[in-house]
Structure formats: structure tokens, C-alpha cells
Structure 1
């Protein structure tokens, strides 16, 4: 996630357009490392979120309020004392760093006009919010950093504030062509890394984007580039720098389906296989991206226990399957024992007493074979011994064959549940999956009580031609869609031979256009275990030809006549209708 200098530059531009010359009417500290400033400007009241969270540092404008503790923390009280009702007279970004400096004008206790600085550093685990006077002396900070914590810089009251120069990086907005090309020529690093380690505010994503735009492989060693390649790269670098200086930003979110993958203030053409969602402002990007990302993160955290149960059960089933296959292989010699018994019955009458083997003509293969005998037993007893071995192995074979089929069904069932966990987007989806695991004994049944109401519904899409398409999120929904919701002439889609969702297209008695078939195939490909493949083979047929065997597990169907198509697991341009 590229919260880099370019995103900060876009933020500074947006803040200068919205809250510059505004007054700070309220200061709150809803979290230990987060401030919420309410600012009244010419265009009305807005809220500014400033977060120095180590894992999720943020700055963005929002209309949403957050509850604050009844007793304000000391840092919040200090800010209220000094800059409550203060005027924001300047918002700047030093040298393309991930830093925003707010210059605030206010009246002190004596009524004299004073200036203070509120400096927000967005630097991962080193993020901080620092309050300084007009001479760069630190008054206080939301996080104190002592010499024991950092040998580079102390952030404590009374210390002088400065930006630590831990790396020799240049400002990309002032970089000259000669220095850019010289840096590439002497670098032994891959091109992508050579760029983002040499210039302030350039993230790995943006460095890769520059390589992509210049048609250069980002993993190639920088010094090995030809002069023409270096020149192409500089042209793209220079064009990006000019856009930043001119304030030409394109805030956007890159999505894989509905899930947000990345964001930027520059167009990310490298993600051409994904959806790029443009936004009106960088604040909208950040608020939307992190809110949505948090949903997916929370769902993954909440599904971790279910996923562990499914993974453990799958591993157990696979071990059981391997053992059963080995036992089945051991039964392959059963027919040999049957033949031994028959041949002893046929030729054993002429055997000498205490014979240890019988040389006999095998009329099944037209070969002479040697049959081992127990000299302590009569020919009839030896024959009976081999028939007993044959019958035992035959029973084992029949039992193992049946057990192997059951284990294969169990493994397939668990893999479909695993796929359901992959596509779950809400806690309601997880509730339904948990119910299935309880029903089949993978989770202990809870004591009888109030049953959780299932609110999860299948995904609902609209094809480009106006046909409604439905995608089951789990096995229960797959059964419901296919056998209760769909009617005979509706079309049914599923990834061939792999776990995945049932996709149903309502035809309303019409003949479906080719484009709708293609879009339904893409849905079936995306909501399957093969969603990371470039192409997926899809089976499709009319619903009336899909059957469910008696006693089979949810989601399991059979069919014998079907059509096939190859689809890419891509949801671009397929309209999702809100549940």
C-alpha cells in the first residue's frame, strides 16, 4: 500500500484547497495515537483525521465523527490550550517527504499573536504527531522517543525538531537528467529498487509503475540498462514529477473484484488486469480503501478459526486417503490366491506327502507356475488356506473401495468449504459456513438455544444484456440456488472438476445472448478455487439437467450432458447489485 510522497503531495494540495485559513474549533483524541480536528473554513465544517498508528498511519478529511474518551489525554489538553480556535495559515510538505507541516496562528494567554507547528510524520512504525513552537523546539508529541529507543533522533519536549536524514535521497521534483542517469549507471540494484532508494517519496509501487510505463523489466540491473532505456525511464520520471508540481493527480483505488488491492494519487497502469476505481479526492481514496480493507482484514481474522478447522480436517482426510490407497494396493494379489486354490484343487491329487510346492499349468495364462505349499497341510487344506486369503482380501478390497470413495467425497466437501471461506465477505457468510461445519460434525454442536438468524444472501449480478445472475457463497446457498430458486430453463454454470460456486442465470424464457454466457462463465471462474489462473474451463447447461444424488452432501450435483467454455476469472464491467 503506497502511502508515499505523491499521496502526501496530493493530500497537501487538497488540504490547502479545503482547510487553509480555516479555524480549529474542536480537538479530540479518540485513540492513543490519533487526533480528530474539527475545522471551520469558507466551505463549511470538516473533520481531519491524523493517525500515527504504527500499522495504519493516516491523514484524511472526513464527515464522520468518532467517540472520544470522557477525560481527554494530556497531549489533547495541551493542543486545546495552545491552538484551540487557532487559524491554519500554512500546509506544506518538505522535500517530498512523508510529512505534513501545519502552521497555526493563535493568540496566547496575553493576547499576543503566536505561531505553532503541528507536524505529522507518516512513516510506518516511526509515525508521530509532533507539536513545535515557531523556533522548531518540540513542545510535546503524541509519542515520546528517547535516546534508548532511537539513536537517530529524540522526540521529547525541549529538543530541537529536525527531519532525520537516514538515507541519502534526492528530491524527485528537483532531480536533473544528468544526476538521474548517473545514478542508474553506477547502481548494481534492480531498476525498481534503484529508483525508490535514490529519491524521496517514491514508493516501490510507483518505481515499478515508472518501469512499466517505460517498457523496462523492473528486476533488471540498473547499470545494465541501455542508454535508450535510461532515457525512456527518465522521460517517464520527469513526466510524473511535472504532474506532481502542476497538481495533476488521479486518486484511485485498485480492486481485485470487490477487494481493494492498492491505491495511489497517480494512475497505476501496471494493474491493467484489475479494476481501477477513480475517486474525487485522495481523502475519499484513503477513507474508502482503509474502511474496506479493514472489513476484509476483520473477516479473515474471524474466519481464521474456521479455516484452521477445515485445514486440519483436510490434512486428516488426505492422510486417511493415502493409507486407504496403500491398503487397496495390498489387495491386488487376491486373484493370485484364488488361482492358487483352484490349481491345487485341479492338480493336487498327485502330490507327494510333505511337498513344499506344486508345479502346475495355469490355464488362465497358459504358463507353468510354482505354487508354495505348507508341507504340514494336505492339498485340500492348502487350497482352503489360499481361498481364505482370497476372500479376506476381496472383502478388504470391497470395503476399501467404498471407504476411498467416501474419503474422496469428504475431501471434496472440505475443499468446497475452504473455497466458501475464500469468498466470504461478511460475518453472516461465516455464520452459514459454521452451521455447515457443525452439521457435519467438524465443530461440536452448541447447546440448544436461540438460533442465529442467517442474513447471508447469494451474490447478485446484472449482465450487460440485463439478465440477473446469482452466485452461491457456500454449499447451502448453492443447493438453494440450483434446486429451489432456479427453474428448468435457467442456465447453470460451474468450474469444471474443481470446487466453486454454482452460478444461475435467470432467462425468463429468453434465449440468452453470447455475452451473458461469457459473463456468467467469468463469474463461475472467479468464484472457484482456480480464480488465480488466467483461464478456467467452465461447464454450463440448463438447470433441468442438473441432478442431486440422494443423501449427497450440500453443493454436490451430477450431470451428464453439458457445454463447455473457457473464461477468465475477471469481474471487470460486471455490475454487482447490492444485497
Structure 2
């Protein structure tokens, strides 16, 4: 079960980021981009090196770092961006300082003989970017409102004040007293609860506070751990989590951490929707099956009608019922009658009830079949989301956008998004043999029905949801067939189980049911191979044979 996902930007991490930012100053600002409602990008140069400084005041993912990622410029006009362009474009960031060990930077910028201060306050939901003049008066703020952390005013011409009083806590690099049982957040500047737990854990293992702070102060890396509670990271390894660690250069690491968090956020959002749809389909299926039971006796109405037509001349008028023998079983049937109608008219009435019942039964059966297909489709989506990474998640979202479950994102061209070809994971072998792996419904549908040739070999785990795998030949050798089956098993619901059955056949034998959800196929003649997913073999394939990652 996935938990909360959050950005662990605290004052001590920003202390380490500040060191690298300072080494690239002075920096000339060539252009200022608005990436989104909460992000700006300073495009500039330091000496001969081109630099891009991204600043995000997103409530969960606020951050600042040099980035090499490509970002699209937002088409939305923004008064604050116009203000920054007017005052700071072609200016030079001369210096920057961190306010104590807190989550606030102050950039000193000179532009056309005028000096400005640009305050970057990464305070969670109260994060902000504020431009201040030489007289310490606010020129503008990205969020022009009262900061919830204080009563200060952020409107133009008001004097700039720090968000809150920083006295009362110690500098963690110059401690006087340490209460090990008490949270370090309440004792020192710059601590997040996450870092406090890590240092308290290390101290319990015998490390001194000073040793840990020296390690942190020397660090130029970001250490990242993935847990059920989310993506967690800092500039020292978070050993108390007991999880596998990945380390990156600190600036690159911030980009990677954000990318992973956004992917997890999108995945969790999609999983929530998919699971809600599964609940809806289960409830709908139950109601439909109950309705089928209720109309399931419609065949009895035809029997009543047939008997009434046969024996109408023997039945008196104005009787409330008739007891007639069933032709097939010989049993005596008690048939209710409308006393206002003749026997023939009662027969016609039962025929009408039969026709309506049969029609309702047929429609209900169709709805049940459709509901089961939809339920199976969302089961497959759930399985794929559990395995999804990066582009897979985006393509699943695109798929749900097409089905009307999400609105397309504003900053992307709908036409370009619709025409974009899915990324297919591709493995290259000798003699130009390739294995293609589709990891979501869009990729599977494109790979099987648009990309693969009719003679190619198609593989899929038997009776479970998983990837469509295609080998670009009809007659692969035994080793290649094994690798294809292994990939089909690995990228499926049951990758961690014992021996897995994998069906395989030529693409030309597959059929796509009319009206079926994307990625669903019907097999014709096929064979089966048994494989046991092996992590070491998969990792070797990913290292030596992967030429395009989906």
C-alpha cells in the first residue's frame, strides 16, 4: 500500500545545495521562463557554462536546483513573470546567502546599475518568490497574499520581513546542548522530522552528533530511498529506513527525486481511480446479475401463451386462472389470467411479456458481458500500474484521458499527444533479432495490432494480466524464445511466482474482439512454454541487450 509522497527539502539540505549554487556565481540571466503556475526557470550563463536554475514553490514539491532537464514554456501570462523579466533580464546574480540554516535564500542581483534582492522561501504550502528593491520594499511576489506563517503583508511597496522569528533554536553546526530523547526539530535550525529521526537513530548506534554533522557538511551527494511512505532523501544516507539506497550528484539527485515523486503521485492517483472503477463495476455486475434472475422466467410466459392458444376454446370467460398440462413435462401449470380479457387475449399478453422479457434478458446479458470486460480491463490496468515506471504511467494516463476519465493537461497540445507513438521497450540480439515488450494497454495495442508483422511471434502469460511480447521472427531459436517468454513472465502479475505458463503464436492468429478494451486479444492456435522468472537473467538482458527503454 503506497503512502504519502513529499519533498524533504529542509534547511540543512538547502545548506548543501547553496554551496554548489555559490560556486557558479556570478551568473548572468539571459531569460526567465514560466514553466507552470508554481515554477520559474532562470536561463543563464556562468563563465563559459550555460546554466538553468529551476525554482518551484509547489506546496508539496518546492525546490531549487540547477537542472539539465528540458521544460516547455507556459503559454499563460503571469504578472510576476513580466515583473521579473522587466527588472532582472540581462541582470547578474552576484551572490546568494541562506538565512541562517533555514529554507530561505536571498539572491543579490544587479541589473542596469540597480540592485535587487530575490528571496526564495521554500516553506511548504507557504513557499514564495519575492522581489525586493534596494530600500527593502517589496516590488512583487509570486503569491501576493498574507503568509499563513506570519501576519506580514506581501503586497507591493510594503517592507519585506522574514516570515517568522528564527531566534530560540541552536545552530546545528555550533551546538551547545543536545537532548537526545527530544526531537532535533525543536532544538536546532534546519531540521526536518526525517533528518531528526535519522540522526537520533545514528546516535543510538554510537555515532556522535558532531560526526554526523561533519558527514552532512562534507556531502555533495543526494541519497534516495523508496518506501511505502513515499520517496525519501537527504544528503546523508537515511540508514534508519532500512532500505536500498541510490546516490546521485546533489543537483541531479533533486531532479531524479522529483521525477520519481511525480511518477509515484501520478501512479497513486491512477490507482485510486482504477480501484474506484473496479468497485463500481463489481456493484454494477451484482445488480445486473440480480436483474437477470428477476427476468429469467420469461420462457415460462411463452409456455403459458402456447397452452392458452391451444386450449382457449375449452376455457370459460372471466376466470382468474387456468390449470393446464405442460406439453414437455406433463406437469399441471397454474396460469394466472386477466378476467377482463379472453383466453386468446391473455395468450397475446403473455407473448408480449415473453418478448419484452427476452429482449431485457438479452440486453442484460450484453451489459453483463461488457461490464465483465470493463472489469477485466481495470484489473489489467491495476496490474500494470503496479509495475509501471515513468513513461508507462504517462501513457496509462493518456489512455484514460481518451476514455474520458481525465482531462488532458492544459500545457500540452492535444493533437500532438494523440499522434505520439508509444515507446516500446526493445531488446537487440544477434542476427538482427529483436524482442519488443509492451508494458501498458496503449503499448500492447500498438505493438500487437500496428507495429508487429503478421509473421512475428507473439507471447503472453497464460490466464494473467501482463505485457505483450513480440519477437521479430516466426522461427526464433530456443534461447531467443526462452528470453521472450522470460520477459513476458517478468512483466506480468505473477513475475515472483514459480514456473509460469507463457502462450505463444504468430501475430496473424490473434483477433481483437469488437468493442473490447484496448490491449485485449483472443488467441487462435497457440503453443505453451514454461519458464521460471530469474532476476539475474532479466538484469543481464536489461544491461546487455536493452536498446530502448519504454
- TM-score relative to the length of structure 2: 0.62
Q: How does 1:251-262 map to 2 (within 5 A)?
A: 251-252=222-223
Distance 2:448 2:145 in 1: 63
Which residue of structure 2 lines up, in the alignment, with residue 4 of structure 1? 10
* 1:202 matched to 2:168: no
Distance 1:38 1:503 in 2: 45
* 1:250 matched to 2:221: yes
Distance 1:170 1:231 in 2: 21
Q: How does 1:77-156 map to 2 (within 5 A)?
A: 86=94, 88=95, 91-92=97-98, 94-95=100-101, 97-100=102-105, 120-124=120-124, 125-129=126-130, 138=136, 143=141, 151-153=150-152
Give the gaps of 5 or more residues in structure 2: 1-6, 409-414
Which residue of structure 1 lines up, in the alignment, with residue 247 of structure 2? 278
Q: Does structure 2 retain, via aligned residues, the 8 Å contact 1:27–1:76? A: no
Instruction: Quickly say closer, same or farther: Cα 1:503–1:358, change in 2 above 3 A.
Output: same
User: Tell me, what secondary structure is at the counterpart of 2:219?
Assistant: coil
Give the gaps of 5 or more residues in structure 1: 110-114, 184-193, 215-229, 444-449
Distance 1:72 1:380 in 2: 85
Question: Alignment length, in residue pairs?
Answer: 503
Which residue of structure 2 lines up, in the alignment, with residue 49 of structure 1? 53
User: Tell me, what secondary structure is at the counterpart of 1:138?
Assistant: coil
> For structure 1, which segment, 424-433 or 27-36, has the greater mean C-alpha deviation from structure 2 after superposition?
424-433
Q: Does structure 2 retain, via aligned residues, the 8 Å contact 1:328–1:401? A: yes
Instruction: Quickly say closer, same or farther: Cα 1:541–1:11, change in 2 above 3 A.
Output: same
User: Tell me, what secondary structure is at the counterpart of 2:459?
Assistant: strand
User: Tell me, what secondary structure is at the counterpart of 1:493?
Assistant: strand
Which residue of structure 1 lines up, in the alignment, with residue 374 of structure 2? 411
* 1:485 matched to 2:452: yes
Cα offset, 1:459, TM superposition: 1.9
Instruction: Quickly say closer, same or farther: Cα 1:268–1:522, change in 2 above 3 A.
Output: farther
Distance 2:65 2:512 in 1: 55
Which residue of structure 2 lines up, in the alignment, with residue 60 of structure 1? 65
Q: Does structure 2 retain, via aligned residues, the 8 Å contact 1:360–1:371? A: yes
Cα offset, 1:10, TM superposition: 2.0
Distance 2:471 2:29 in 1: 53
Which residue of structure 1 lines up, in the alignment, with residue 469 of structure 2? 503
Q: Does structure 2 retain, via aligned residues, the 8 Å contact 1:172–1:199? A: yes
Which residue of structure 2 lines up, in the alignment, with residue 218 of structure 1? none
Instruction: Quickly say closer, same or farther: Cα 1:264–1:23, change in 2 above 3 A.
Output: same
User: Tell me, what secondary structure is at the counterpart of 1:278?
Assistant: strand
Distance 1:542 1:249 in 2: 50
Which residue of structure 1 lines up, in the alignment, with residue 412 of structure 2? none
Q: Does structure 2 retain, via aligned residues, the 8 Å contact 1:503–1:524? A: no
Instruction: Quickly say closer, same or farther: Cα 1:8–1:536, change in 2 above 3 A.
Output: farther
Instruction: Quickly say closer, same or farther: Cα 1:451–1:128, change in 2 above 3 A.
Output: closer
Q: Does structure 2 retain, via aligned residues, the 8 Å contact 1:472–1:481? A: no
Instruction: Quickly say closer, same or farther: Cα 1:413–1:33, change in 2 above 3 A.
Output: closer
Distance 1:300 1:485 in 2: 32
User: Tell me, what secondary structure is at the counterpart of 2:358?
Assistant: helix
Which residue of structure 2 lines up, in the alignment, with residue 222 of structure 1? none
Distance 1:160 1:394 in 2: 76
Instruction: Quickly say closer, same or farther: Cα 1:572–1:6, change in 2 above 3 A.
Output: farther
Q: Does structure 2 retain, via aligned residues, the 8 Å contact 1:458–1:477? A: no
Cα offset, 1:85, TM superposition: 8.6
Instruction: Quickly say closer, same or farther: Cα 1:85–1:74, change in 2 above 3 A.
Output: same
Deviations along 1:71-98, one digit per CA (max 9) or x if unpaired, are 99666777799x9595x4x755623x11
* Partner residue of 1:14 out of 1, 17, 20: 20
Deviations along 1:223-281, one digit per CA (max 9) or x if unpaired, are xxxxxxx935x859776534213x1343256689xxx956543335688888x6532x3
* Partner residue of 2:438 out of 461, 471, 475: 471
Distance 1:464 1:264 in 2: 40
Q: Does structure 2 retain, via aligned residues, the 8 Å contact 1:357–1:371? A: yes
Which residue of structure 2 lines up, in the alignment, with residue 447 of structure 1? none
Q: How does 1:408-557 map to 2 (within 5 A)?
A: 408=371, 411=374, 415=378, 425=391, 454-462=419-427, 468-471=435-438, 473-474=440-441, 477-478=444-445, 480-481=447-448, 485=452, 490=457, 492-494=459-461, 496=463, 501-505=467-471, 508-512=476-480, 517-525=485-493, 540-544=502-506, 547-548=510-511, 551=514, 553=516, 555-557=519-521
Distance 1:14 1:502 in 2: 45
Distance 2:196 2:500 in 1: 38
Which residue of structure 2 lines up, in the alignment, with residue 224 of structure 1? none
Distance 1:480 1:119 in 2: 50
Q: Does structure 2 retain, via aligned residues, the 8 Å contact 1:250–1:267? A: no
* RMSD between superposed Cα atoms in Å: 6.6
- If you compute each CA radius of gyration, which structure gives the higher value, 1 or 2? 1
Which residue of structure 2 lines up, in the alignment, with residue 231 of structure 1? 204
Which residue of structure 1 lines up, in the alignment, with residue 334 of structure 2? 371
Instruction: Quickly say closer, same or farther: Cα 1:353–1:333, change in 2 above 3 A.
Output: same
